[in-house]
Amino acid sequence: MLGTTLNPKEFLARVAAELGRIDPREVQKLADLMWERYQAGRFVFVIGNGGSGSNASHFCEDIGKGTLARKFFDDDAKKRFKILSLTDNTPYILAWGNDEGFDRVFSEQLKNLASPGDLLVAISGSGNSPNILRAVDWANAHGLTTFGCTGFTGGKLREINHHNLHVPLDDMGIVESIHLTAFHWVVDDLHRRVSL
């Protein structure tokens, strides 16, 4: 937690420096993969735990609404993004977590909802969350494209997904902030493609 040793000015400067270290091609790749799913009418699923789970919900909401210009709000013929954050179905998560184990809460939802050609965006700062890894393994085996968002060393997730946005920093808060910043650019880029 860098904020425990840095004053606000130093902390913000460090965040800015870390933003400059991420590979913009990885951010562009996420936007391109999502655009391909939009064009094909496929689903995008987003998963994460804790702060990454909040980012999953936030990203899903922004894509679902924020990619659509106001002029299309009442246009039922305008195609919209098919996107779902699997962090938000609390009763389903609790049922699987309680009855069978928390490592199944995302993979079991994918079994109900996903199809070959869909995209799974898996967010894990450590890259080692068991429920994330299980979901990505399942998705890889069933014809989904997988995109991981990682920090620290990237963990196992960085090794098993098809594509990755990696923040090489050992500070979970800053990693999650950079992921969300990247997601906001993806929203803007997809808004341009969908609505302008």
Are 65 and 56 a contacting pair, CB within 8 Å? no
Structure tokens at 11: 């902390």
Domain extents for the chain? 2-195
> pLDDT confidence of 117, banded at 50, 70, 90?
very high
18 pLDDT higher than 80: yes
Assigned CATH topology for domain 2-195: Rossmann fold (3.40.50)
3 pLDDT higher than 70: no
Pairing mode, strands 119-124 and 43-48: parallel
Q: At what angle do helices 172-195 and 24-40 cross, to 10 degrees?
A: 50
Residue-wise pLDDT tens digits, 78-107: 899 999 999 999 999 999 999 999 999 999
Helix (H) or strand (E) holding 151: none
Residue-wise pLDDT tens digits, 125-164: 999 999 999 999 999 999 999 999 999 999 999 999 999 9
